[in-house]
């Protein structure tokens, strides 16, 4: 009987050692992942350019997005006080519509979630967006920083509200019904057939194959930054340093 009890105790002890080993191994993985996310957040809040550049390289954006665009986006992102999520979308209208220029970055996961095409407003230009407006019925894109709001079903299907944060630059976004939505003219198929994307009435329109999941990722208080090489924006935005 004593031998049976002793054998049971040994078996139980060995099983606990195995459980503890697996438990602590999982815990170390969680700690390591959290540390990676923390390092990412610390990088972008580093007051020097080196921290931002390190994050830029870690995200693998060096062959896709100009560093100065990324830095301007991150600098402005840090100034947006009402954001509820550590997610930043950069729309780079200095690139043509035939290039992928819509980037969704999750700083908590330390990764680029999406890198895809996006259409601009029809009166902003053909393949390149060169003219911008905050005016109602301008059918142009507006630059600057936005917060995402709620989703709804509208004339363009599943859509995401955008709230412009910059006075006289994009604060008419809601009145203009500027939202993120899907469109067939923003698809790779349209691009292959026409050499460039189609154009919207001012909204950043996404490929139908991806727009729904992207909207779900962005909704509820993430930051969107629409960039172009525009002197007027650089001179008047409170979110970026004057590069003029």
- Bridge-based pairing state of the strands 205-207 and 102-106: unpaired
Q: Is residue 63 part of a domain?
A: yes
For residues 63 and 4, membership in a common domain is answered with no
Pairwise CA distance, residues 202 & 226, whole Å:
12
pLDDT confidence of residue 39 = 47
**CATH number for the domain including 108?**
2.40.440.10
In this structure, is residue 244 part of a structural domain?
no
Could you tell me if residue 243 is inside a domain?
no
Angle CA 111–72–129, to nearest 5 = 95
Q: Of 160, 153, 157, 170, which Cα lies nearest the Cα of 238?
A: 170
Last residue of a domain, one of 9, 24, 44: 44
Q: Within this chain, do residues 59 and 175 fall inside the same structural domain, yes or no? A: yes
Whether residue 10 lies inside any domain: the answer is yes
**Pick from 68, 178, 166: nearest CA to 118:** 178
Domain with 178, as residue range(s), is 46-236
* pLDDT given at position 44: 67
Are 40 and 57 members of one domain?
A: no
Secondary structure string (H, E, C) spanning 201-228: CCCCEEECCCHHHHHHHHCCCCEEEEEC
Please give the C-alpha separations between residue 220 and each of 84, 86, 187, 213, in angstroms, as whole numbers: 7, 11, 25, 14
pLDDT of residue 49: 72
Q: What is the pLDDT along the chain (244 residues), one digit of tens a residue?
A: 555 444 455 454 445 444 444 443 543 343 344 444 444 555 666 656 788 999 999 999 999 999 999 999 999 999 999 999 999 999 999 999 999 999 999 999 999 999 999 999 999 999 999 999 999 999 999 999 999 999 999 999 999 999 999 999 999 999 999 999 999 999 999 999 999 999 999 999 999 999 999 999 999 999 999 999 999 999 999 999 765 4
Inside any domain, residue 69? yes
What's residue 79's pLDDT?
A: 96
Question: Which of 72, 222, 47, 224 shows the shortest CA–CA distance to 141?
Answer: 224
Tell me how many domains the chain contains: 2
pTM of the model: 0.82
Radius of gyration of the chain (CA): 23
Q: How many residues does the structure list for the chain?
A: 244
Query: What's the confidence (pLDDT) of residue 23?
Result: 40
């Amino acid at each position: 009987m004593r031998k049976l009890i002793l054998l049971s105790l040994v078996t139980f002890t060995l099983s606990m050692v195995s459980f503890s080993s697996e438990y602590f191994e999982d815990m170390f993985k969680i700690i390591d992942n959290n540390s990676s996310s923390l390092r990412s957040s610390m990088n972008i809040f580093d007051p020097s350019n080196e921290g931002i550049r390190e994050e830029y390289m870690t995200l693998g954006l060096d062959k896709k997005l100009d560093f100065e665009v990324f830095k301007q986006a991150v600098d402005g992102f840090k100034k947006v006080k009402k954001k509820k999520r550590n997610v930043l979308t950069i729309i780079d209208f200095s690139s043509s519509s035939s290039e992928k220029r819509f980037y969704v970055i999750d700083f908590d996961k330390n990764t680029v979630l999406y890198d895809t095409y996006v259409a601009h407003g029809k009166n902003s230009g053909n393949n390149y967006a060169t003219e911008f407006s905050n005016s109602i019925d301008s059918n142009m894109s507006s630059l600057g920083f936005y917060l995402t709001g709620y989703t709804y079903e509208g004339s363009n299907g599943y859509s995401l509200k955008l709230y412009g944060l910059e006075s006289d630059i994009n604060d008419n976004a809601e009145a203009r019904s500027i939202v993120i939505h899907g469109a067939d003219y923003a698809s790779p198929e349209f691009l292959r057939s026409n050499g460039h994307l189609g154009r919207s009435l001012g909204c950043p329109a996404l490929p139908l194959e991806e727009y729904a999941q992207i909207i779900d990722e962005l909704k509820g208080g993430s930051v969107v930054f629409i960039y172009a090489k525009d002197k007027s924006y650089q001179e008047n935005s409170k979110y970026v340093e004057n590069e003029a």
